[in-house]
């Protein structure tokens, strides 16, 4: 036969401990020790400052109610500095009084200046025309252009100065200049086969027809073959007497 266990009224069963609660005892004891240490620290080691309150304001009235006060008041009245001090300055003897008279009290005229001199105007001749000297000059007659006696020559410089010419035919003048011209300088590029493939005018002669004649002549010039793909240099045409109109045909 089984015996029934009595049911508890609590949801969670609390274990029964009949021993002494040492934990509570040590907590209370530790709290007392902490409070005692704090009291010792703030009351013995760092005591509170004792402040003396300021005395209340005290007003004493000095009245002639006693012989001592009467004697003090008489002494103060006898030594009053207000009786000695005097704001009025002392006038020295024999000082002459000057009467002030403002400047606007009496009318005055404006001060006279130096006499105005009548100057006579200086008569100048009329201005001349600035362009008169230019119009009066006559243009000098143009000097007769001298035709060089030597024939036209070609000079190769820079990269083409030491390169030999294979073919350099004479210049065929299909056009003749009637006025003096300057030398024509061209930058030319020569291929490895010796043909002139690039022509760039650097310094024109002043006559476009002669510049085109120089370009046409360079296309017929052949240089010696070389390994470089393109060799650059300068060609200068010094125009001679054969580039001008013959004297018999000149007007």
DSSP string over 168-221: -PPP--S--BSS--PPEEEEEEEETTSBEEEEEEEE--S-HHHHHHHHHHHTT-
Establish if 14 belongs to a structural domain: no
Flag whether 248 is in a domain: no
Instruction: Tokens for 222, please give them.
Output: 């052949």
pLDDT band at 32, cuts 50/70/90? Answer: very high
| pLDDT surpassing 50 at residue 134 | yes
237 domain residue, yes or no:
yes
pLDDT at 13: 67
Domain CATH number, residue 204: 3.30.2420.10
Q: Is the pTM of this model over 0.85?
A: no
| Residue range 87-92: mean pLDDT, rounded | 69
Do 212 and 204 meet the contact criterion of CB atoms below 8 Å apart? no
Contact criterion met (CB below 8 Å) for 186 and 199? yes
**What is the distance between the alpha carbons of residues 80 and 86, in angstroms, rounded to a whole number?**
13
232 is a domain residue: yes
What's the rounded Cα separation, in Å, for the pair 187 and 214? 12
Query: How much of the chain exceeds pLDDT 70, in percent?
Result: 75
- The whole domain housing 202 covers 162-168+181-243
Domain-embedded: residue 88: no
Res 29: pLDDT: 93
Please say whether the beta carbons of 173 and 160 come within 8 A: no
Is residue 83 situated within a structural domain?
Answer: no
Count of structural domains within the chain: 1
Residue 210 falls within a domain, yes or no? yes
pLDDT for the residue numbered 31: 94
Neighbour count for residue 187 (Cβ, 10 Å): 15
Q: What is the pLDDT of residue 6?
A: 55
| Residue 122 included in any domain | no
């Amino acid at each position: 036969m089984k015996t029934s266990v009595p049911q508890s009224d609590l949801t969670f069963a609390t274990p029964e401990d009949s021993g002494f609660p040492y934990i509570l005892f040590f907590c209370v004891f530790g709290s007392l020790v902490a409070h005692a240490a704090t009291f010792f620290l703030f009351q013995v080691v760092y005591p509170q400052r004792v402040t003396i309150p300021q005395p209340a304001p005290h007003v004493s009235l000095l009245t002639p109610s006693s012989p001592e006060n009467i004697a003090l008041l008489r002494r103060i009245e006898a030594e009053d500095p207000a009786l000695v001090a005097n704001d009025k300055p002392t006038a020295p003897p024999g000082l002459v009084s000057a009467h002030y008279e403002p400047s606007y009290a009496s009318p005055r005229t404006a001060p006279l200046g130096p006499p105005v001199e009548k100057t006579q105007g200086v008569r100048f001749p009329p201005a001349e025309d600035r362009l008169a000297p230019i119009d009066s000059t006559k243009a000098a007659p143009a000097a007769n252009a001298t035709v060089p006696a030597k024939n036209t020559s070609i000079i190769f410089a820079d990269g083409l100065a030491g390169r030999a010419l294979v073919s350099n035919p004479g210049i065929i003048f299909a056009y003749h200049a009637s006025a003096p011209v300057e030398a024509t300088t061209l930058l030319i590029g020569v291929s490895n086969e010796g043909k002139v493939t690039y022509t760039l005018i650097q310094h024109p002669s002043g006559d476009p027809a002669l510049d085109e004649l120089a370009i046409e002549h360079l296309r017929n010039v052949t240089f010696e073959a070389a390994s470089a793909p393109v060799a650059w240099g300068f060609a200068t045409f010094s125009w001679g007497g054969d580039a001008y109109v013959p004297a018999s045909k000149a007007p």
